[in-house]
Amino acid sequence: MPGGPDARRTQILDGLIRLAGRQGLHTASMRTVAAEAGVSLRLVQYYFETKEKLLVAGLEHLATLMTGRLTARLASADDREDPRTVIEAVLTEALPTDYESRVFHLVYTAYAVLAATDPVLAAQPFLRAPDEMERFLTGLLQTARSAGRLPASLDPAAEAALLLAVSAGLGTSVLLGQRASEEAMRLLHYHLDKLFSG
């Protein structure tokens, strides 16, 4: 069978993400997800049993997709040894620049809102990725500071947290149509220039 044993799961989860990105996560029912994925309702039940499990699996799938994109972007970075290059790649990836990443951000935010009041979703490792990212950025900034590329007066951990906050905040403003993604990128580079120029 093509695609491995869980190609069907992937097919359904792709449908869920696609539908949630186009019409909103709240329109995702067992039936609409099945229709979007081109399968029957029973099949969705067969693979995920309950809607709650479907939603949880959808969140995991989303995390997998985003990790894949980030990994690909890092792999294609110009200079993987230069901290600033890597930081720029990570933060740029975090902005909803194209349709796919816009979908990621929108659906992820929808999940986050649900998790704020749903204990089952809240129990998911919702913050593992951001936490890892923050540690990762902190390490990069420490490296840059040790190499004299960053002013010694800066606090790498605090700057890492602020960078992610800036990226998330700008991403949201792009999502809501307050700003074009190019403008968000410009602001991000402005902020990075300030950091690295001292």
| Binding residues for DNA (CB under 7 A) | 5, 8, 27, 29-32, 39-43, 45-46, 49-52
Tell me how crowded residue 33 is: count the other CB atoms within 10 A of its CB.
26
Distance, in Å, from the CA atom of 131 to the CA atom of 21, rounded to the nearest integer, reads 25
Give the nearer residue to DNA in terms of CB position, either 8 or 84.
8
The partner in contact with residue 30, picked from DNA, its own copies, none with C-beta cut-offs of 5 to 8 angstroms by kind, is DNA
Select from 121, 3, 17 the least CA-distant residue to 66: 17
The partner in contact with residue 40, picked from DNA, its own copies, none with C-beta cut-offs of 5 to 8 angstroms by kind, is DNA
Q: Confirm or reject binding of residue 170 to its own copies (CB under 8 A).
A: yes
Distance, in Å, from the CA atom of 39 to the CA atom of 96, rounded to the nearest integer, reads 30
Q: Confirm or reject binding of residue 191 to its own copies (CB under 8 A).
A: yes
Sign of CA dihedral 44, 50, 52, 57: negative
Which amino acid does the sequence have at 129? Answer: A
Token pair belonging to 22: 């186009």
* Part in contact with its own copies (CB under 8 A); list of ranges 30-38, 72-80, 103-111, 135-143: 103-111
User: At closest approach, how far in Å is the CB of 38 from DNA?
Assistant: 9
Q: Confirm or reject binding of residue 198 to its own copies (CB under 8 A).
A: no
Distance set, CA 156 to CA 51, 66, 140, 167 (Å): 42, 25, 8, 16
Distance, in Å, from the CA atom of 13 to the CA atom of 191, rounded to the nearest integer, reads 37
* Part in contact with its own copies (CB under 8 A); list of ranges 3-11, 22-30, 46-54, 65-73: 22-30
User: At closest approach, how far in Å is the CB of 32 from its own copies?
Assistant: 13
Identify the DSSP state of 95.
S
Give the nearer residue to DNA in terms of CB position, either 53 or 135.
53
Among 18, 69, 149, 179, binds its own copies (CB under 8 A): 179
**Residue 78 near residue 89 (C-beta atoms within 8 A):** no
Residues of this chain that interact with its own copies (CB under 8 A) are: 22-27, 106, 109-110, 112-118, 122, 126-127, 130-131, 154-155, 158, 161-162, 164-170, 172-173, 175-179, 187, 190-191, 194
